[in-house]
């Protein structure tokens, strides 16, 4: 089918599908949802990271995580030889974690509502930085007090292949590509699914440079 109609289809094939993509019973990818917010988010992210810089943490099993972590909000997530936990102080500075930017909280609350979670009250935001080659092994997020609240994640920078598993580590995983500006909401029956991130491919993102930054907002306390 030559002519303008064919051109239109060709463009559609290149564009990431917009809107709400369901990836689980109560999980949705909101493609590009954060794009209109990025300009307001980045200065706030810089402020947070100036106060609590990325650091590589060690798991209780003695492995250094390939992703570097920071946090903001009332609680931040930490791992060391004695275990995984949320703490009110950044162990590096012994000071409270940076406050959660209002614009970040607003974005997450609106995104949660898009997925049907109408009173999301995040108190913690874990910030992961992946350079090419960094990954996150399959795990469950179980350190939060109430699993009734969803987790909202925002992807920035280089693309990632997210692995979405089941309720047992050995369950089959689905691959979901996540791009700059994508927001994902996980809740309800999907909240305790195993998940992970495949090693990030080499590249340079025009806005974020040679890295992927993922922010996950949670109700931890």
Q: List contacts with Fe ion (CB under 5 A).
A: 141
**Contact call for residues 219 and 122 (beta carbons, < 8 A):** yes
User: What's the distance, CA 173 to chain centroid?
Assistant: 18
Residue among 119, 201, 164 at smallest CA distance from 29: 164
Q: CA 213 to CA 70: how far, in whole Å?
A: 11
Residue from 151, 156, 217, 220 that binds ligand MD3 (CB under 6 A)?
151
> What ranges make up the beta strands (E) of 98-206?
124-130, 136-139, 151-157, 160-164, 174-178, 183-186, 195-197
> By C-beta, is 105 or 193 nearer to ligand MD3?
193
| Shortest reach from residue 155's CB to ligand MD3, in Å | 7
> By C-beta, is 108 or 184 nearer to ligand MD3?
184
**Contact between 186 and ligand MD3 per CB under 6 A:** yes
Cα dihedral 98/41/119/178 (nearest 10)? -110
| Shortest reach from residue 124's CB to ligand MD3, in Å | 11
**Contact between 163 and ligand MD3 per CB under 6 A:** no
* Radius of gyration for the alpha carbons in the chain, expressed in angstroms and rounded: 18
Q: CA 200 to CA 133: how far, in whole Å?
A: 5
**Contact between 180 and ligand MD3 per CB under 6 A:** no
**Contact between 179 and ligand MD3 per CB under 6 A:** no
**Contact between 141 and ligand MD3 per CB under 6 A:** yes
Cα dihedral 42/43/49/54 (nearest 10)? 20
| Shortest reach from residue 14's CB to ligand MD3, in Å | 24
User: Nearest-CB residue to ligand MD3?
Assistant: 214
Beta sheet of 160-164, edge-to-edge order: 136-139, 195-197, 160-164, 174-178
- Helices 102-114 and 38-51, axial angle in degrees (round to 10): 130
> By C-beta, is 45 or 160 nearer to ligand MD3?
160
**Contact between 176 and ligand MD3 per CB under 6 A:** no
Residue from 104, 115, 197, 200 that binds ligand MD3 (CB under 6 A)?
197
**Contact between 111 and ligand MD3 per CB under 6 A:** no
**Contact between 136 and ligand MD3 per CB under 6 A:** yes
Q: Which residues of the shown chain bind ligand MD3 in the complex (CB under 6 A)?
A: 126, 128, 136, 141, 151, 153, 160, 162, 184, 186, 190-191, 193, 195, 197, 214, 216
């Amino acid at each position: 089918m030559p002519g303008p109609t064919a051109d239109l289809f060709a463009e559609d094939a290149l564009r990431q599908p917009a809107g709400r993509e369901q990836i689980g019973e109560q999980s949705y990818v909101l493609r590009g949802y954060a794009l209109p917010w990025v300009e307001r988010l980045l200065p706030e992210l810089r402020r947070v990271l100036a106060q609590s810089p990325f650091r590589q943490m060690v798991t209780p099993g003695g492995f250094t995580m390939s992703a570097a972590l920071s946090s903001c909000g009332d609680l931040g997530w930490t791992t060391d030889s004695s275990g995984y936990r949320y703490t009110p102080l950044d162990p590096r500075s012994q000071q409270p974690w940076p406050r959660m930017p209002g614009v970040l909280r607003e974005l997450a609350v609106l995104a949660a509502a898009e997925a049907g979670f109408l009173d999301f009250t995040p108190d913690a935001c874990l910030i992961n930085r992946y350079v090419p080659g960094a990954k996150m092994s399959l795990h469950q997020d179980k350190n939060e007090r109430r699993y009734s609240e969803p987790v909202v994640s925002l992807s920035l920078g280089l693309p990632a292949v997210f692995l979405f598993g089941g309720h047992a580590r050995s369950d089959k995983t689905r691959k979901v590509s996540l791009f700059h500006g994508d927001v994902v909401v996980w809740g309800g029956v999907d909240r305790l699914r195993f998940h992970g991130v495949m090693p990030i491919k080499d590249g340079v993102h025009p806005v974020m440079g040679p890295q992927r930054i993922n922010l996950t907002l949670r109700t931890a306390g």
